Amino acid sequence: MKKGLMIVIITIITIELYSQPGSARNPVIFADVPDMSMIRVGDTYYMSSTTMHMSPGVPIMKSKDLVNWEIVNYAYDILDDVDELNLINGKSTYGRGSWASCIRYHNGTYYVSTFAQTTGKTYIYSTKDIEKGPWEVKSFSPSLHDHTLFFDDDGRVYMIYGVRRLKLVELNPDLTGIKPGTAEQVIIGNASAPAGDNISLGAEGSQLFKIDGKYYLFNITWPMGGMRTVVIHRAGSITGPWEGKLALQDLGVAQGGLVDTPDGRWFAYLFRDYGSVGRIPYLVPVKWENGWPILGVDGKVPDKLDLPESKGLIPGIVASDNFRRRRGEPPLPLVWQWNHNPDNNLWSVTRRKGHLRLTTGRIDTSFVSARNTLTQRTFGPACEGSTLIDVRNMKEGDFAGLALLQRKFGQVGVKYANGSKKIVMVSAQSGNPVEIESVPFSGKTVYLKAGCDFRDLADTAWFSYSVDGKTWIPIGNRLKMEYSMPHFMGYRFGLFNYAEKTPGGYVDFDWFEIKEH
């Protein structure tokens, strides 16, 4: 074969290979988006997730290709008006708030249900327009753990919930509570059984689907000394009998359900615990054999997917913000969430144009008890966030700056103490906050930066500051980040300001920039 013809053939093959779908990779979102529930309506996918103590809560995400997602709404502004969610009277709801949600579409209406240990209630939100709202909410007791909301073909509405011993209840047609005169039924006595007898986490995270007249119930369980595992049960009737099988046991990728594409392909959406960045979503191809969904490629989670390439998480999941708002725009883009319910009298993006103002309103003794910390996700493999803050109007005892929020948090910021200011780095790696380094500061504005490395579970963070925005000076030491159950959330960037002595001081954040590192 002539050399020129060979080059042409190789070129054609290369073009065909790179023009084919299949360039998407797992994880599809390298950020904390746990407990996903997903639907497809026409050619559009919608997904809900867990953000627990954050406000607004239960983010609604949208995609056209299962890979590129953007936050388009939240199911609620605040879950409830109670001390724990308001961070008042010494109470908080870290690691609780609202847990795993379930998203469904039925007869032209979107439904998102969730539950909360904090309030002991089950919540069902509904809307005709999932992207714009408004939402109607109905709540009732008790709090049904890890439930799946299900509209059956005969018009009856159910929830399946529980841990290991899975139960079924029928709801009122108007979803206001459990239907009177009906009793809960145990439909599966030990849903972990397909994964063996030695189980450390009983089957939970129920998600129910009806396909070709059969019911398919997805759960997660965790064998002792093993990994997070997907189990599936199948039945011809919602009350059973149910038969189960172990569906996937690889990389600890588990908990989720099924979604199909307009062209007839099937995927399982699941997530993986990945250190301090949090719980990150994966997609797993599904094929059908003998009426069962078969997950993975030869039982494994593939690195590559036959789906379009990811365009990145910015600005759909995380985004920079210059705090400038055009008329009619919401005060905050949807990437932002407050740590617990905010006090809306103490923050503003209008009191000083192009700035986020955080004003102190009370005395706080610790960062995690302070209100109005504005947060958004960190993301992998590595990222950094930076901000410019005006500190001229701080009061004695104030501390303001940029944080990485989790139980073992890190902070870089300005403290006003004993009549003077200093730039400090604080580490709570030991479990208690310790001022690692401080530098005298007499300026009006300071640039702050925090970076995270999640590659290969490195889980390290660093902090720096600048007085001119050009030369960055490291401060303190590296923070070994740790995902802790008391917070039950991946690390988040946080803009904060709180008072330890005298309320009423304020700081102005000029901008926040987030980018890959």
Give residue limits of the domains in the chain: 24-305, 337-516
The backbone torsions φ and ψ at residue 345, rounded to the nearest 5 degrees and listed phi first, read: -80, -10
Model confidence pLDDT, tens digit, residues 205-246:
999 999 999 999 999 999 999 999 999 999 999 999 999 999
Enter the CATH code of domain 24-305.
Answer: 2.115.10.20
Q: What architecture is domain 337-516?
A: Sandwich (2.60)
Distances (CA, A) of 28 to 17, 46, 69, 398: 21, 15, 9, 40
3-state SS, one letter per residue, for 217-238: EEEEEEECCCCCEEEEEEECCC
pLDDT of 11 above 50: no
**Kind of pairing between the strands at 166-171 and 214-223:** unpaired
Helix (H, G, I), strand (E, B) or coil at 418: coil
pLDDT of 22 above 80: no
pLDDT of 20 above 80: no
Tokens at 346, concatenated: 């103490």
- pTM > 0.75: yes
Under the banding of pLDDT at 50, 70 and 90, the label for residue 273 is very high
Which long-range contacts (C-beta less than 8 Å, at least 24 apart) are formed by 281-284?
281/27, 281/28, 281/29, 281/33, 281/36, 282/26, 282/27, 282/28, 282/253, 283/24, 283/26, 283/28, 283/66, 283/67, 283/307, 284/248, 284/253
Q: Where are the beta strands (DSSP E) in 212-339?
A: 214-223, 229-235, 243-248, 254-260, 266-273, 279-289, 292-295, 304-305, 337-339
Average pLDDT rounded to a whole number, residues 167-177: 98
Average pLDDT rounded to a whole number, residues 54-69: 98
Q: Do domains 24-305 and 337-516 have the same CATH topology?
A: no
**Per-residue pLDDT at 23:** 85
